[in-house]
Homo-oligomer: A and B are copies of this chain.
Amino acid sequence: MTGKAVKLEVADQIAHVILNRPDAFNSLNPDFWAEFPAVFEEIEARDDVRVVVLSSTGKHFCAGLDLNSFKSINAPSDQDEGRKREAFRRHLLDLHERLGVIERCRYPVLAAIQGACVGGGLDMTVCADMRYCTRDAFFVVQEVNIGMAPDLGTLQRLPRLVPPGIARELAFTGRRMYGEEAREVGYVNRVFETQAEMLDAVMEIARGIAAKSPLAVHGCKELMNYARDHSVADSLNYVAVWTAATLVGGKDLREGVGAFREKRDVVYENLEPIQPGRRPHDD
């Protein structure tokens, strides 16, 4: 599946999502907003995926929103001011949904970042489960450099990923944070010299994840997503009922322990694909 802005390659149970407008520095244009959620819908509908790698082409990972995006915000119109803003709020919530597929995806999403990752590009990578980058990668809260506060997730997620004092400095100054600093503050897990080296390593990590029980891995992601936004007490109660539902009587633990003991390869079933548009109770 190759769109105008996003390409999907699947191999070895790894879905590789590739931003594919290198000439435009992979800026987020209407094509991107349409294709990106569609690619994740495709991933969830397949029965051969267990992990997702998100990477990009060309010199820069993502230059942020296409500047044309901002035209309509200030376009003169005779639309009522209140209705205009009611519509704009929904527009932003819609964009949140479209980026949020990363977080809602049942499979871990590993972002591999080179060059510029700015503005909307940062809004995208804060959604990923793990981030890896090249040494020359740099991250910028670009919005403040053009007169606005980020509105697509960076301010909401970044201060939980790096020390809040760093997140605020980045947001207020619009300065660059390069790869090595990104690793030191915990934004990325590892730094690589080249994009090729990075992709090799990230694919290796992804293959490792693909070899685990996809149900266990999905559980880990769901439960950590949940724990981020709930108290520890609430989260412990949730894991108890989640585990009662997904572990008891299932095949994975038996297979996992068996393989562990017998030191043999382990074989897990895939998750049930999600068929979009399928009506409930069809079978």
Contact = CB atoms under 8 A, between A and B. Distances in A.
Interface of A: 29-30, 33-34, 51, 66-70, 72-74, 79-96, 98, 108, 129-131, 141, 143-151, 153, 155-157, 159-169, 171-175, 185-189, 205, 208-209, 212-213, 215-221, 223-224, 227-257, 260-261, 266, 268-269, 271-272, 274, 279-283
Q: Copies of this chain, how many?
A: 6
A54 to B, nearest CB: 13
Contact of A82 (B30, B227, B251, B266): B251
A126 B92 CA distance: 29
Nearest to A160: B164
Given A85-B245, A245-B85, A260 B145 contact: yes
Nearest to A171: B220
A250 B281 contact: no
A112 B66 CA distance: 38
A281 B169 CA distance: 30
Given A67-B257, A73-B248, A82-B252, 13 more contacts: A30-B282, A33-B279, A68-B281, A70-B253, A89-B241, A144-B220, A146-B256, A146-B260, A148-B219, A148-B253, A151-B240, A151-B242, A156-B223
A35 to B, nearest CB: 10
Contacts of A252: 80, 82, 147-148
Contact of A236 (B72, B96, B148, B175): B96
14 contacts: A34-B279, A73-B248, A86-B246, A90-B240, A92-B240, A94-B280, A96-B240, A129-B168, A130-B172, A147-B255, A148-B253, A151-B243, A155-B239, A156-B223
A224 B51 CA distance: 31
Contacts of A164: 160-161, 224, 228
A216 B83 contact: no
Contact of A218 (B86, B167, B169): B86
B249 A84 contact: yes
Nearest to A218: B86
B235 A156 contact: yes
A144 B69 CA distance: 35
B95 A280 contact: yes
Contacts of A94: 280
